[in-house]
Structure 1
Amino acid sequence: MEDENEQGRETEVAPALISVHPAQHYVTVAVGSDLRVFNLQEGCSVSLVDESPEPLHKDSIRAIRFGANGKLFVSAGDDKLVKIWSTDSWRCLYSVSSEKRVSAVAISNGGRFVCFADKFGIVWVVELDGVHENQALVCKKAEPLLAHYCSIITSLEFSPDEQYIVSADRDFKIRVTAFPKNPLDGAHEIQSFCLAHTEFVSCLTFICCQDYPLGLLVSGSGDSTVRLWDFTSGSLLHTCEVGAEAGIAQSNGRKEGSNTIVTGLCATPDGSLVAVAIQRQLLRESLSSYCSFPGIMLLACNFSAKILSVARVVSITEEAFIPTSLGTTFSSGLLWMVMGVSSSQSSGSASLARVRVISGFSKNDAESTELEPIVLADKEIPGGEQLLLKLQGNLSVEEEVFSAAAEAVKTAMHNLLIKKQYSAERREFRKRGRNDRKDKR
């Protein structure tokens, strides 16, 4: 009975993900194993072409990303497959098998290398031969690049100049590694560690400007902070206490407080603004529950002073809307958000998603008293109802179903980031079932 209960707690509901083409040609949403693509230029949905032996994904997708030039798109997840797509034809050009479930992906700026992290804390690298529309599907083999010892990697990013690859994990660490000229031989030079977070690091992003073309690193965590780093030296430049800034504090001196978990970061192309998606955990003695923060927090970056400050909080009218992923483009001034979960016992619906868009995602608009960032109505979103029908699966969701999905989102984000605790008996049982300990005959 104990094993059954623990197995039930291990069940993970996959949060929905969103990614936007750098030039806003496409918007993609992943919900469970379903990958949905909408063509914004032509105002129509996109059909994927996958000639793999195992076409499309068969399990929850955990990472999606466009390359910097928009020519490549990568999807990966719990089916241990990394699929690399051409965005011209939306054909799967490369398929890569992973030994473990995939937790994060990154594409080098030139599109030559794709890196992905697995659940065992290893980062793998795949070298691409170039994008050829008429080529047959290529099954690639990945080579190990680096590793976080037995710690799940939550985020993976290339530095703007592609000299470094930055990896963050659930054990509070951010590692900056020199990306070698021959990455298939492994990355052996650690540039720095960015160490200050006291809880899991959930997300990373780079911010750049003309004065700082190499960029600064921004990290979000379960310790209620967003931190700014000089990543080459590992120096902490500033800490923004987003929980305190949001007015979340202990209540009436009682044994009641709250913890703000940063679940997503997204920066404007000029690095002037960083959007922060957060989830709030209320703590009441023996009771722990989650609730949403009523919007997206926008942080302004002062590059000369090297500090982050709250520029504005953009309220979202739907109280139950909890963004699970954020995305933006080079120049549109739009911040795309998605809330959603894969099939959930608690929601009773399959692959629910809700897409919202904030306009005015730029520093000038955020500081203006006349024009401020606003949440667009559904009819005002680029692509309109056709986009919503494709990416959400429907145009409207009943309030009861949406509220149930919100509860599933909270559980999903919690399970995704919080390190699981097992009894001694359960740990031994899991060790016996490890693939590397099984007899290979």
Structure 2
Amino acid sequence: MEDTAVEEAEVSGAAEFAPALIAAHPHGNSVAVAIGPELRVFDLKVGSPVLLSDDCGGRSHSDAIRAICFSVSGALFASAGDDKLVKVWKTDSWRCIRTITSEKRVSAVAISNDDLYVTFADKFGVVWLVTLGEDGTEQVSVDNKPVSILGHYCSIITSMNFSPDGRFIATADRDSKIRVTLFPKNPLKGAREIQSFCLGHTDFVSCIAFTNISENQSFLISGGGDSTVRLWDHINGCLLDTCQVRDKMEELLELNETDDSSLAIADIRPSNDGSLVAVAIQSFNGVMLLACDLVGKKLSFLKVITMEKSYIPTSLASSFSSELLWTVMGASNMPNQASSQLLTRLRIIRRFQKDLLSSDNCPAILEDSEVPHGEKLLLALQGSLDVAKQEEVLASVLAALKVSMHKMLVKKHYSEERREQRKRGRNDKKIKS
């Protein structure tokens, strides 16, 4: 019975849904939203949508985008996904300067702090690297192909980040592991020196992020399918503290009968100074805020910001120069969904900062009329201003979000007969009859 249920889930389409993603320029110059194959960018300085320039022509991607990120400097932006392409963009012109082809679908992407390298992870758990030009903007040569630098042994890598000092690259996977690897001076020869493993999650790790305590010291924060947010000393692989999100949500919202899988952590975002951590939870219509005491090495519940019942954030973003926390909801690759239905919904929280507990600085959700650049930004990033149309489409997204992350990342279990059938259907390992 269990095998049958898993197989049905596998082919239903919900397991392959692609959540909407959002990323903010580190200096507040722009904000980008990815939904399905569409990449939407809004220039916050000029106050207008960005026209992407891609020498390949047509859409920036031909299938669902699974990962987006800005470089630390803000000069570069990378997008990658199910079309097995990684695209690198210059953010001053939003011209695609490099298209990299992967052998497998891409699940995570990151840009080194010096803008010299782009790393991406495929569905087989291999991390690949490509060298950019000395200024981080131009292709080195036509033959500059991706080089594998590390791997997670056939486990999907869900999140990848460089440490603030650029010394390490952290990778998380669906098998509850976080690996911290020393990023070598010559990464083309591989990143073989493992600094530590951060082990403690009991289900898939969905997201990781670094937060600074000083110029030379930082910590790692992670969230996972076990409904926990964890604080790590990534240098030594030590677990410093754990926040049990499920216990707090049950207490606040009386979710006693809610299954663990529906309270998986969808995304985390530290504030600029690292004192706060915003947490998106799979079945929660809002954001949980945690206080992060980097001196005492503690995480503690602070408050929840509740939004309308139909809004469950799928991704979070913030910039160094702004107190705004950007959130987005949306999904693609669902059954019977047309490209015209690729709508997202934005909600922005202001005063995402250290002194939010003071009476004059409580975080607040911006009304649509208060959003920077108003309707122009919303139309560019959401795809529509028709609230009724949005509600209809996002209602189906809401149902998919409550079950899809766990189905997508949890390891599937098959009967012996089903495993043999799957082997016979694989192109790389045919079984002779």
TM-score (norm 1): 0.89
Answer whether contact 2:48 2:376 (CA < 8 A) is retained.
Answer: yes
Alignment correspondent of 1:362: 353
Shift of 1:328: 0.2
Distance 1:148 1:249 in 2: 37
Matched, 1:332 2:353: no
Matched, 1:429 2:432: no
Shift of 1:417: 2.5
Answer whether contact 2:18 2:332 (CA < 8 A) is retained.
Answer: yes
Matched, 1:246 2:236: no
Distance 1:83 1:225 in 2: 33
* Alignment CA distance shift 1:274-1:250 (3 Å): closer
Matched, 1:152 2:144: no
Alignment correspondent of 1:234: 237
Answer whether contact 1:89 1:133 (CA < 8 A) is retained.
Answer: no
Alignment correspondent of 2:218: 215
Counterpart among 218, 224, 227 of residue 227 in structure 2: 224
Alignment correspondent of 1:341: 331
Counterpart among 123, 130, 134 of residue 127 in structure 2: 123
Distance 2:143 2:31 in 1: 26
Matched, 1:294 2:285: yes
Matched, 1:276 2:279: yes
Q: Residues 51-90 of structure 1: matches in 2 within 5 Å?
A: 51-52=55-56, 56-90=60-94
Alignment correspondent of 2:402: 410
Answer whether contact 1:18 1:325 (CA < 8 A) is retained.
Answer: yes
Answer whether contact 2:264 2:406 (CA < 8 A) is retained.
Answer: no
- Secondary structure of the residue that 1:208 maps to in structure 2? strand
Answer whether contact 1:94 1:140 (CA < 8 A) is retained.
Answer: no
Answer whether contact 1:15 1:412 (CA < 8 A) is retained.
Answer: no
Distance 1:147 1:248 in 2: 40
* Alignment CA distance shift 1:237-1:405 (3 Å): same
- Secondary structure of the residue that 1:352 maps to in structure 2? coil
- Secondary structure of the residue that 1:319 maps to in structure 2? coil
* Alignment CA distance shift 1:222-1:132 (3 Å): closer
Answer whether contact 2:82 2:106 (CA < 8 A) is retained.
Answer: yes
* 1:219-251 CA distance string (max 9 Å, x none): 101111111000010011111111112334997
* Alignment CA distance shift 1:396-1:172 (3 Å): same
* Alignment CA distance shift 1:131-1:52 (3 Å): farther
Amino acid at match of 1:303: L
Q: Residues 89-128 of structure 1: matches in 2 within 5 Å?
A: 89-128=93-132
Matched, 1:390 2:394: no
Amino acid at match of 2:398: A
Q: CA RMSD in A?
A: 2.6
Distance 2:107 2:114 in 1: 22
Distance 2:196 2:136 in 1: 37
- Which consecutive residues of structure 2, in runs of 5 or more, have no partner in the other structure? none
Amino acid at match of 2:273: D
Shift of 1:313: 1.1
Amino acid at match of 1:301: C
Distance 1:400 1:337 in 2: 20
Shift of 1:9: 3.1
Amino acid at match of 2:124: F
Matched, 1:372 2:375: no
- Which consecutive residues of structure 1, in runs of 5 or more, have no partner in the other structure? 280-291
Amino acid at match of 1:103: S
Distance 2:135 2:112 in 1: 14
Distance 1:149 1:391 in 2: 37
Distance 2:336 2:252 in 1: 30
Identity fraction in percent: 53
Alignment correspondent of 2:210: 206
Alignment correspondent of 2:304: 313
Distance 1:137 1:47 in 2: 27
Shift of 1:301: 1.0
* Alignment CA distance shift 1:228-1:34 (3 Å): same
* 1:367-425 CA distance string (max 9 Å, x none): 21343101100111112111110111101332333322211233443333322333434
Between 106-115 and 342-351, report the one with greater CA deviation. 342-351
Distance 1:4 1:421 in 2: 9
Shift of 1:343: 4.7
Distance 1:27 1:343 in 2: 23
* 1:79-114 CA distance string (max 9 Å, x none): 000000111111111111111100001111111111
Amino acid at match of 1:298: L
* 1:279-300 CA distance string (max 9 Å, x none): 2xxxxxxxxxxxx313211111
What is the count of residue pairs matched by the alignment?
Answer: 421
* Alignment CA distance shift 1:347-1:377 (3 Å): farther
Answer whether contact 1:102 1:119 (CA < 8 A) is retained.
Answer: yes
Between 419-428 and 146-155, report the one with greater CA deviation. 419-428
Amino acid at match of 2:315: S
Distance 2:284 2:57 in 1: 43
Distance 2:163 2:28 in 1: 22
* Alignment CA distance shift 1:438-1:128 (3 Å): farther
Alignment correspondent of 1:26: 30
Distance 2:158 2:251 in 1: 25
Distance 1:320 1:137 in 2: 48
